[in-house]
Amino acid sequence: EGDRRFDMVVRLSDTLRTDIDGLSRLLIPVPALASNTSGQLGFIALSQVASLDLVLGPNQISRENGKRLVIVSANVRGRDIGSFVEEAEAAIATQVKVPAGYWTTWGGQFEQLKEASDRLRIVVPVALLLVFGLLFMMFNNLKDGLLVFTGIPFALTGGIMALWLRDIPLSISAGVGFIALSGVAVLNGLVMIAFIRNLREEGRSLSVAIHEGALTRLRPVLMTALVASLGFIPMALATGTGAEVQRPLATVVIGGIISSTLLTLLVLPALYQWAHRRDEEAA
């Protein structure tokens, strides 16, 4: 006779799961022997083909990439994940002896943080290059483009100071806030430098154009800064769901706008006069 395949599905109660003797007496159907002409199934006890014992063990065996995996979860509060992982890795290296063939990897939010950080290392330089390229195309002048571009470090200084004052760690949402902040900072400088250039084209001297341009553009620059900063105040004070993402972003934008506005109004006119003083002397 040809080979036959028999499948048996046994549903066990919780009581029977811990009864070793009862499990040992379970009957398993086996194919009929060649001498058995009736063709009926035979049965043997489970203890005849297996040894049963009750021991402690995992309720499941997880695998990833063909390798066994054990997951240890933890919640981090009151500090950033990056410094926690660094401290935990140092503690494991000094206090835990990992057997041969075992290794540890960090996943979850830390893995996402690492991937986002790698992307930001590409996105931030590309965004800054695009901003500078657009400034150069608008002014058709490298000098004026660099002057407006100085608003970005002015803004970054205020954003970092705001994070430090609120004791908020640098995170991915804060990095996104720095990118958004760069656009607002450039806009303030762009408004002022463009107006000063127009005054000079009308025939005014360098000092007069700078003085009149700074006073005339004071209100638009302050209005732009106030609208942007006041709009982020609810996010900066958020305490509900998603506050851990909203607060760093809003804090960076508010602090950066304040420093960028002050430095744009006070420092940028002086930088413009210093950069174009030779042009005035040559004229």
pLDDT in tens, 9-33: 455 555 666 778 888 888 888 776 5
Which token pair is 14?
């919780």
Q: Could you tell me which of 96, 98, 110, 84 has the C-alpha nearest to residue 172? A: 110
What SS3 class is residue 78? coil
- Of the two residues 255 and 58, the one the predictor is more confident about is 255
Interval 204-247: pLDDT, tens? 888 888 888 888 888 888 887 888 788 888 888 887 777 777 88
Instruction: Look up the pTM and report it.
Output: 0.63
pLDDT band at 4, cuts 50/70/90?
very low
Q: Is the pLDDT of residue 87 over 50?
A: yes
> Rounded CA gap, 193 and 268, in Å?
8
Give yes or no for a contact between 186 and 151, defined as CB atoms under 8 angstroms apart. yes
Angle (nearest 5°) at CA 31 between 29 and 34? 145
Which token pair is 253?
């934008």
| Domain range summary for the chain, segments of one domain joined by + | 1-55, 117-282
Q: Which CATH number fits domain 117-282: 1.20.1640.10, 3.40.50.300, 1.20.1070.10, 3.30.479.30?
A: 1.20.1640.10
